[in-house]
A and B are shown apart, each in its own frame.
Chain A
Amino acid sequence: MHENEQRPREIPREHLGGRPIGRYGFLGVLGAGAASVVWGGPISRTLSRVINPVADSTGLSKVIPTSGWRIYTVASTMPKFDPATWRLTVGGLVETPVSLSYADLMEMSRAEQVSTFHCVTGWVVKDVHWAGVRLHEVLERAKPASGATALRFVSSEQPYDDSLTRAQAALPDVLLAYEMDGLPIKREHGAPLRLVIPDMYGYKSVKWVSQITLEGVARDGYWEQRGYDRDAWVGSNDSR
């Protein structure tokens, strides 16, 4: 590559003068960057608390993810919620298939919880206020058959789905949430209904849930077919 090219004009090294100090800046930036793997989490959550109220009122949070939440979707458009036609259906291995409207859900007993949301890609949102209905209340209406050992949650965002075992789904803080931080769940967070299972990474908490299917065996969901764990317990090295 260099045989036939013009040689750039060079200042002879002995005429450079100065001192080789650029390397210290280089190493300093590397060191500070590497250290931020430790202090960056608390810093970004503090920043988020300061910036987010301003960003929310100015619309900036629609452009930059200031709230700590990241919006992940797999289809080309997000599902649109129409309260008149929306239904949650529960089927598969059940005695009584159930179809619930948004109004039906609102009449069921309301459950609230505050839990931390962990994304597998590394971000965490602490103390999210959720309200919704407990999964077992919905299941009691459908009466799962004896062979039903797993639940598949199907999203209106095709082809997203994910499965939980009955035991996982029976954890006390598993919620079908219709409110987040005091407001109806926003479109990008899964309006009108999403699953919340705080002990597992967020890809298990299916957004835009429209169908629950009772099945004989838990199957790999969307991201699990792409390499993620089906039993996605939040790791012990995370800040909780």
Chain B
Amino acid sequence: MGRIERFTLTERALHWVHAVAFFAMLLTGLALYLPALETAIGRRGLVKSTHLWSAIAWGAALVIVVLVGNRRALRRTAQELDNFDRDDLRFLTGRSGAPQGRFNGGQKVNAILTVAFALLFAVSGVLLWLGERDTRFRFDGTVFLHDALMWVSLVLLIGHLYLAVINPRTRHALAGITEGSVREDWAREHHAKWVDAPAVAPPEGVATPERSPV
């Protein structure tokens, strides 16, 4: 059965850097935040510095992936995520039969929120760190923002994991973000406009096949 490439190595690397770092910061963050966990684990200094170093590693790894990776593919993906057509809006209003591109409407919303939340997490985290050291960086709502982002992200994450790992109809999508390619018949069912779009010419001198028989 034929397969189609869905994500470049760069896109997959970006996804997994973010995923691993998110879990590291979620777990250490919850150990700092939830009373029962905090008191069970204690050692606040150690947990806190693990949380902070995870954040630094996360930011550095993202920058490295973008610098050494395929930026053209990332720009291209950003354009697709930014672009909403009538079928995306139909999808978002509950008509899941509307034909979708490489990303469906829900995936676009999830990606946009994930990037916006990542920036807000970073900004509020830096403000919390600075605020402990200099009163000019202390704002009344920074803790609220950092906490609220965690709760909303947790809801998004649960939905994301359900669709990617559990729900039988959609979970083949996991292959796209691990191996890069998905089955053509699955893609045609879920992303018809992407599969059936007229092919784009490869850049000059590169003769890679669009579809590979597996």
Given contacts A22-B82, A228-B132, A237-B135, contact A40 B145 (CB under 8 A): yes
Q: Report the contact-size class of chain B (Cβ under 8 Å from the partner).
A: 35 or more
Does B35 contact A40, Cβ atoms closer than 8 Å? no
Question: What per-residue 1/0 map shows which CB atoms of A120-142 lie under 8 Å from chain B?
Answer: 11111000000000000000000
Per the bound structure, the CA–CA distance linking A119 and B147 in Å amounts to 16
B159 close to A (CB within 8 Å): no
Stretch at the interface among A13-21, A87-95, A101-109: A13-21
Interface centre among A10, A19, A29 (most CB of B within 10 A): A10
Q: Report the contact-size class of chain A (Cβ under 8 Å from the partner).
A: 35 or more
Does B112 contact A22, Cβ atoms closer than 8 Å? yes
Question: What per-residue 1/0 map shows which CB atoms of B196-214 lie under 8 Å from chain A?
Answer: 0111101000101111100
Does A20 contact B83, Cβ atoms closer than 8 Å? yes
Residues of B within 8 A of A82 (CB): none
Does B45 contact A2, Cβ atoms closer than 8 Å? no
Residues of A within 8 A of B119 (CB): 30
Does B140 contact A74, Cβ atoms closer than 8 Å? no
A83 close to B (CB within 8 Å): no
Per the bound structure, the CA–CA distance linking A120 and B165 in Å amounts to 41
Residues of A7-39 whose CB lies within 8 A of B: 7-13, 15-23, 25-26, 29-30, 33-34, 36-39
B84 close to A (CB within 8 Å): yes
Does A23 contact B82, Cβ atoms closer than 8 Å? yes
* Residue in chain B with minimal CB distance to A43: B144
Per the bound structure, the CA–CA distance linking A194 and B129 in Å amounts to 26
Does B180 contact A236, Cβ atoms closer than 8 Å? no
Does B140 contact A15, Cβ atoms closer than 8 Å? no
* Residue in chain B with minimal CB distance to A236: B135
> Within the complex, what minimum Cβ distance (angstroms) separates B42 from chain A?
4
Q: B138's contact among A10, A63, A75, A235, by CB below 8 Å, is which?
A: A235
Does B42 contact A16, Cβ atoms closer than 8 Å? no
Per the bound structure, the CA–CA distance linking A229 and B71 in Å amounts to 44
Does A11 contact B145, Cβ atoms closer than 8 Å? no
Q: B198's contact among A8, A15, A33, A226, by CB below 8 Å, is which?
A: A15
B160 close to A (CB within 8 Å): no
> Within the complex, what minimum Cβ distance (angstroms) separates B67 from chain A?
10
Per the bound structure, the CA–CA distance linking A37 and B112 in Å amounts to 21
B141 close to A (CB within 8 Å): yes
Does A22 contact B194, Cβ atoms closer than 8 Å? no
* Residue in chain A with minimal CB distance to B111: A22
B44 close to A (CB within 8 Å): yes
B81 close to A (CB within 8 Å): yes
Q: B210's contact among A7, A15, A18, A71, by CB below 8 Å, is which?
A: A7
B115 close to A (CB within 8 Å): yes
> Within the complex, what minimum Cβ distance (angstroms) separates A56 from chain B?
12
* Residue in chain B with minimal CB distance to A72: B44
New contact pairs (11) apart from A36-B148, A72-B38, CB-CB < 8 Å:
A2-B69, A5-B9, A15-B198, A16-B101, A22-B84, A34-B120, A40-B140, A62-B36, A75-B43, A78-B39, A120-B132
Which 9 residue pairs are nearest across A and B when measured between Cβ atoms?
A40-B141, A18-B85, A41-B140, A40-B144, A235-B135, A2-B70, A11-B197, A33-B120, A22-B82
